[in-house]
Chain A
Amino acid sequence: DADVTQTPRNRITKTGKRIMLECSQTKGHDRMYWYRQDPGLGLRLIYYSFDVKDINKGEISDGYSVSRQAQAKFSLSLESAIPNQTALYFCATSDSGTAFGGYTFGSGTRLTVV
């Protein structure tokens, strides 16, 4: 099983619909992140969480919300999807301990809003 699992892998939804993207991890990391990637561009940070009680906005949080249900689960919601939210979404985790080895990313969710 993957260390960081994202569901669904692909999703097509209609404008105005609410949609949730889910992320779960088995790394035991306390920090989790949601990134968005548009074609030909780098990743942009949407939200991040240092622990269950700590949620922070990233560069582009408008139109998104998140929930950290447990240390291992971090979900991203689009309350009312719009076409310019069509993108590839990545969840990532990292360790806050001293043995920092980088971020671990999931395989991504490709979201299309029509």
Chain B
Amino acid sequence: DAKTTQPPSMDCAEGRAANLPCNHSTISGNEYVYWYRQIHSQGPQYIIHGLKNNETNEMASLIITEDRKSSTLILPHATLRDTAVYYCIVRVYNTDKLIFGTGTRLQVFP
């Protein structure tokens, strides 16, 4: 599975969009990009995943560059409850395991 690179921390004002970048320059054609988040010490929570098209759900949007070497998770209107560690993971669809890095710690401030 390809490795990912994320900034260790980011800040965002409440109500603004939070844009979390992820670099995955060695991604293969059959590898998906997954995003999870972990609030405090709770179990990680699935957010979204995609292959090459942009994806949107009720939680977030995922923008994947055309060359698939990087992606951005967008929380359109960040709230204080979105303060968490966000993990970007790439892996072959429906294969055995997720490999977590250290993620980005997002702090949403009032």
Contacts and interface: CB of A to CB of B under 8 A. Distances in A.
Given A96-B94, A100-B93, A102-B49, A90 B99 contact: no
Nearest to A58: B97
B98 interface: yes
Contacts of B34: 102
Interface string A71-107: 0000000000000000010101000101011111111
Contact of A44 (B43, B87, B100, B103): B100
Nearest to A35: B100
Contacts of B94: 96, 98, 100
Nearest to A97: B94
Contact of A41 (B43, B93, B99, B102): B102
Interface string A4-36: 100000000000000000000000000101010
Query: Which bucket holds chain A's interface residue count?
Result: 20 to 34
Contact of A107 (B36, B42, B49, B102): B42
A48 B97 contact: yes
A42 B100 CA distance: 5
Contacts of A33: 97
A81 B87 CA distance: 29
16 contacts: A4-B43, A35-B100, A42-B87, A42-B101, A43-B44, A45-B98, A48-B96, A48-B97, A56-B96, A58-B97, A102-B34, A102-B36, A102-B49, A103-B46, A104-B46, A106-B43
Interface of A: 4, 31, 33, 35, 40-45, 48, 50, 56, 58-59, 88, 90, 92, 96, 98, 100-108, 110
In the complex, the 8 A-B pairs of residues with the closest C-beta atoms, listed nearest first: A105-B43, A102-B46, A42-B100, A43-B100, A42-B102, A105-B44, A42-B101, A90-B43
